[in-house]
């Protein structure tokens, strides 16, 4: 699951010409550490939903990689 998430995050980054982040950490903040803006986060939810069937932003904000994993595991 973690690998799939980091793969999607890096896909969203590289699509815009940004670097691949090799060592994404569980505690990384999606915005400040991984540089995702609101459009990127919207895309991330769509890609995660088609992979895992869960909308991570449905009930509230998700800040870190670990919080994504928690949302996906909970449901």
Among 15, 27, 70, 73, binds other proteins (CB under 8 A): 15
From residue 26 to residue 65, the character string flagging contacts with other proteins as x (rule: CB under 8 A) and all else as - is ---x-xx-----xx-xxx-xxx-------x-xx-xx----
Nearest by Cα to 68 from 56, 58, 59? 56
Cα 75 to the center of its chain, rounded Å? 17
β-strand partners of 20:
none
User: Counting contacts by CB under 8 A, is residue 14 touching other proteins?
Assistant: yes
**How far is the C-alpha of 45 from the C-alpha of 2, rounded, in Å?**
15
Contacts with other proteins, residue ranges (CB under 8 A):
14-17, 29, 31-32, 38-39, 41-43, 45-47, 55, 57-58, 60-61
């Amino acid at each position: 699951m973690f690998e799939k998430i980091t793969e999607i995050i890096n896909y969203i980054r590289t699509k815009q010409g940004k670097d691949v982040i090799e060592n994404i950490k569980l505690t990384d903040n999606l915005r400040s550490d991984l540089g995702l803006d609101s459009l990127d986060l919207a895309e991330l939810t769509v890609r995660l939903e088609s992979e895992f069937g869960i909308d991570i932003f449905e009930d509230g904000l998700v800040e870190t990689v670990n919080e994504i994993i928690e949302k996906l595991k909970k449901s």
